[in-house]
Amino acid sequence: MSEIDLTPILREHRPFAVLASFALALLYTEEAWAGYNFWPHRPLSEAAPLVVSITLIALMGYLTSFFFPPTLIKTWDHPRPWGVLINLAAWSAGIVAGINVILFALLLYLVQFDLTASSTLLRDIYVYTLFGMVLFHGFLLYVRYMHYLYQVPDYVQPMKVISVSVGMGIVILVGGAFLFLLDLYDFGHAPEAMQPMLGLHIYVRALYSLTLALAAYAWHLRWIGDH
């Protein structure tokens, strides 16, 4: 499988990559803002530049995870497109994991390495890492592969495509519901004084994440149905 065969497919989904990067970066903005408000160990004059830095690093990191791996395609030579696409996904996942380690360290620095904050931030960053890897890069991998397969006559069976898409939708709903229940558990056991701010954090993040997930799912349906 040569570079020439897949390059048009890789170039076709750049708007999704840009929009996804900006959208994901805002998750870290909200996380940094919440961390500063829950554990205000720093004055606003110090915290604000850190929040901006976290946002920009997240944005550049996700843009890199989408746009850098395709530049390596000319160094690979696989007999099937799946080999190339899975290499792209592996590089993207590695970049996402690396950038989230950096962001986690910056968030810890923002809260001055508060031990109570560290466990919450670790859980959130772990979920965000999977969110970026599995949902956005996972959908992109699936759409790219199906885009290629649709060019092969009689190769794609519609029922299999529909089954996979329905399965991914169920995973999103079940996973989202489970994480939201965890947040509600934390809310119910939080001190009464923290509950207004914590409730705002939980619902803003939950609604925004659900919107992103549904948007990514709708994007994948649009491309699956368009070919």
pLDDT digits (tens, 9 = 90+) for 20-56: 999 999 999 999 999 998 888 889 889 999 999 999 9
Residue at 108: amino acid letter:
L
Mean predicted confidence (pLDDT) in 118-144: 90
In the chain, pLDDT over 70 holds for what percent of residues?
81
* Region for 80 from its dihedrals, namely left if φ exceeds 0, alpha if ψ lies in -120 to 50, beta otherwise: beta
Can you give the residue ranges of every domain in the chain?
A: 3-226
Write down the pLDDT at residue 30.
Answer: 94
Write down the pLDDT at residue 3.
Answer: 46
Write down the pLDDT at residue 160.
Answer: 63
CA distance 91 to 85: 10
CB contact at 8 A, 169 and 218: no
Mean predicted confidence (pLDDT) in 125-141: 91
| Range name among 11-25, 95-109, 166-180 with the lowest pLDDT average | 166-180
* Region for 148 from its dihedrals, namely left if φ exceeds 0, alpha if ψ lies in -120 to 50, beta otherwise: alpha
Residue 143: is its pLDDT beyond 70? Answer: yes
Look up the pTM and report it. 0.86
Q: What does the DSSP 8-state code read for residue 191?
A: -
Confidence of residue 10 (pLDDT cuts 50, 70, 90): confident
Which two tokens mark 225?
Answer: 């149905």
Nearest to 144 by CA among 10, 47, 3: 10
CB contact at 8 A, 58 and 99: yes
Residue at 143: amino acid letter:
V
pLDDT tens, position by position, 77-129: 666 777 788 888 999 999 999 999 999 999 999 999 998 889 889 999 999 99
What are 202-205's contacts with CB under 8 Å, separation 24+?
Answer: 204/30, 205/27, 205/30, 205/31, 205/34
Write down the pLDDT at residue 158.
Answer: 60
Most confident of 93-102, 142-151, 167-176: 93-102
Residue 13: is its pLDDT beyond 90? Answer: no
CB contact at 8 A, 58 and 98: no
